[in-house]
Amino acid sequence: MGTKVIRDKIPTASGPVFTPDGRVNSLYLNELLDSVAKETSARLYRRYRAEVPLTGGLWGGSWYFTDECGYTRARFRRLYSLVSVPQVQALEDADNYNIVFWQYSKALADAFAPYGIALGEAEWGESSPFSNRLRPTISLQMWDANKRIDFIRCFFSYNAASWEEAYLYETVRLVKQTKEALDKETLSAPPKMDGMAIRFQLQDIVILYHTLEPVLSEQTKAAGGPLVERIKTRFAQGMNDEEEMNALNAQAFECALIYGY
């Protein structure tokens, strides 16, 4: 008898994720990332008969920098995903969890290859601040050798909930993380940040505002709404000046925006 060949599927979305000028359709990207999670589950079962029902989707500011059709206002070079990992006892073994990461990285690379993105150099294991101490949220990151994007960073949340519910869990964690640089009760001024740190801080301010917007008070909307729109506009225009970015973070500090969350 011949060797059994395992035929994997390529994760896909129902429409093109990227435009010719490099912008992203967030709706299709969300579909693609969920398809990656589900295909990873299928590959784990085909190879190991392991039932690990992953769900996934978009995480981060891409949702909030789009037009009415879901296209980002500018080219996005850093993409983020949230993956909900079920509380399966076998995953308490680090070696088994590493298999999940490895299979996910292969499925992720397969999904983006048709767009000319060559994902490689997979790294995983970094824990996110303020996540569960026993089962922290863990990140996986891959870089594009073709430089069409910089990287894709995926956060694995050990959560029995679906991706939609895990998104809320991660939002609570993100409030605590973002508060570190905006807490007027412990700081006289916000710390000055540089590089990716200040970019992430401003992105997190936008993410939190729009995620929680339906339940925010009118006072918080009045204080935070114009600032969030300003941040979004300047990012779309290619903002790179760290002084300007720190000034925007200082405005969030002065208006005590974090307490509205």
6 part of a folded domain: no
The single-letter DSSP state of residue 124 is: E
Per-residue model confidence (pLDDT) at position 141 = 96
H/E segment holding residue 221: helix 218-236
Mark whether 67 and 125 lie in a shared domain: yes
Per-residue model confidence (pLDDT) at position 88 = 82
For residues 129 and 95, the answer to whether their CB atoms sit within 8 Å is: no
Enclosing domain of residue 102: 26-164
Mark whether 203 and 147 lie in a shared domain: no
For residues 202 and 248, the answer to whether their CB atoms sit within 8 Å is: yes
Tell me if residue 18 falls in helix, strand or coil: strand
User: Which strands form 151-158's sheet, in the order they lie side by side?
Assistant: 55-58, 78-85, 151-158, 138-144, 119-127
Determine how many CB atoms are found less than 10 A away from the CB of residue 243.
9
Mark whether 149 and 110 lie in a shared domain: yes
Distance CA 27, CA 117 (A): 19
State the total domains in the chain. Answer: 2
Last residue of a domain, which of 135, 164, 193? 164
Per-residue model confidence (pLDDT) at position 90 = 84
Mark whether 150 and 197 lie in a shared domain: no
Angle ∠(111,74,139) on CA atoms, nearest 5? 45
Distance CA 183, CA 71 (A): 34
Per-residue model confidence (pLDDT) at position 74 = 77
Distance CA 212, CA 83 (A): 20
Per-residue model confidence (pLDDT) at position 200 = 87
Per-residue model confidence (pLDDT) at position 106 = 98
Last residue of a domain, which of 129, 164, 199? 164
Per-residue model confidence (pLDDT) at position 3 = 62
Mark whether 62 and 142 lie in a shared domain: yes
Mark whether 146 and 195 lie in a shared domain: no
pLDDT tens-place values along the chain, 261 residues long: 556 667 899 999 999 999 988 889 999 999 999 999 999 999 999 999 999 999 999 987 655 667 878 888 778 788 999 999 988 888 888 899 999 999 999 999 999 999 999 999 999 988 888 777 778 889 999 999 999 999 999 999 887 667 777 777 778 888 988 999 999 899 999 999 998 899 989 988 988 898 888 889 999 999 999 999 999 889 878 899 999 999 999 999 999 999 988
Q: Which of 53, 73, 33 is nearest to 234 (CA)?
A: 73
